[in-house]
Amino acid sequence: MKMSMALTAFTPRDRKLRESRLPLTAEFLAGAWLVFAAFAYSYSFTLSATAGFWNSLACGIAVAAVALVRFGLPERARWLGLVNVAIGFWLIAAPFAFGYPVDGHRDAIRTNSLIVGVLLAIFSVISVTVAYRRHSGDFRE
């Protein structure tokens, strides 16, 4: 029995679905990074000490979980993307709320939180916008 592999062209619907999942993948990777960063960075020299560790860990788990739910149920969980937008803005504010240091080599925690927060907010807004446009039928091919 001979099996042949045929290349199939993506339909417009498949392409739209693939394009809407790219920002979700970036959101999931940001959440995974936050979980990893909670263990990789030492929060002991911040004013918040363990609060910074738990903030990074909880935000990372929440972001990854929301991305996975939205990845599996794209039509039913469109509104969940707003949770990741809020977490992105919280990650931008967290260094100021928790008093992360700004001097010398210890600036890595502050920089990590700011960069991941900005990227997460951007990718989440893109993901929510694409999901709502795709649902309303206003998604150009």
Domain-located, residue 126:
yes
The per-residue b/e assignment along 43-57, b for 16 or more CB within 10 angstroms, e otherwise, is: beebebeeebbebbb
8 A C-beta contact, residue 35 and residue 61: yes
Amino acid at 73: L
Domain-located, residue 4:
no
Domain-located, residue 9:
no
Domain-located, residue 74:
yes
Q: In the prediction, which pLDDT does 44 show?
A: 67
* HEC-encoded secondary structure of the chain: CCCCCCCCCCCHHHHHHHHHHHHHHHHHHHHHHHHHHHHHCCCCCCCCCHHHHHHHHHHHHHHHHHHHHHHHCCCCCHHHHHHHHHHHHHHHHHHHHHCCCCCHHHHHHHHHHHHHHHHHHHHHHHHHHHHHHHHHCCCCC
Give the residue numbers spanning the domain of 70. Answer: 15-136
Domain-located, residue 8:
no
Tell me the whole-structure pTM to 2 decimals: 0.79
Domain-located, residue 2:
no
| Euclidean distance between CA atoms 113 and 7, whole angstroms | 43
Chain Cα centroid distance, residue 102? 25
Total domain count, the chain: 1
Per-residue confidence of the chain (141 residues) as pLDDT tens digits? 444 444 455 565 555 566 667 888 999 999 999 999 988 887 766 566 678 889 999 999 999 999 999 888 877 777 888 999 999 999 999 988 888 777 765 678 888 999 999 999 999 999 888 877 776 665 554
| Euclidean distance between CA atoms 46 and 56, whole angstroms | 13
Q: In the prediction, which pLDDT does 14 show?
A: 57
Domain-located, residue 108:
yes
Domain-located, residue 100:
yes
